[in-house]
Amino acid sequence: MVRSGQGGSIPLCNVLAERFPDAEIALIGVEEPGCLIHAPNESVDPSEIERMALAEALFLSRFANPS
């Protein structure tokens, strides 16, 4: 897992931050190297979605129950 920040193109984050000022916001997205993000022919490799879902589930499980 890496931390990455780019732009402020997702207005939802601002709305959530204003509504829930004490919340921490994490956006998790997937895209393949050759995708044309936000283009008519945008695509994502299904195996990447599967791996990302697993990584998110493991992270949330360990975050909720640290050992």
pLDDT in tens, the chain (67 residues): 666 655 555 777 888 889 999 988 877 766 665 666 666 666 777 787 788 889 888 988 998 877 6
Residues 6+ apart with CB under 8 A from 35: 42, 43, 44
One-letter identity of residue 47: S
Q: 0.85 exceeded by the pTM? A: no
Is residue 18 exposed (0-12), middle (13-18) or buried (19+ Cβ within 10 Å)? Answer: exposed
pLDDT at 64: 81
One-letter identity of residue 37: I
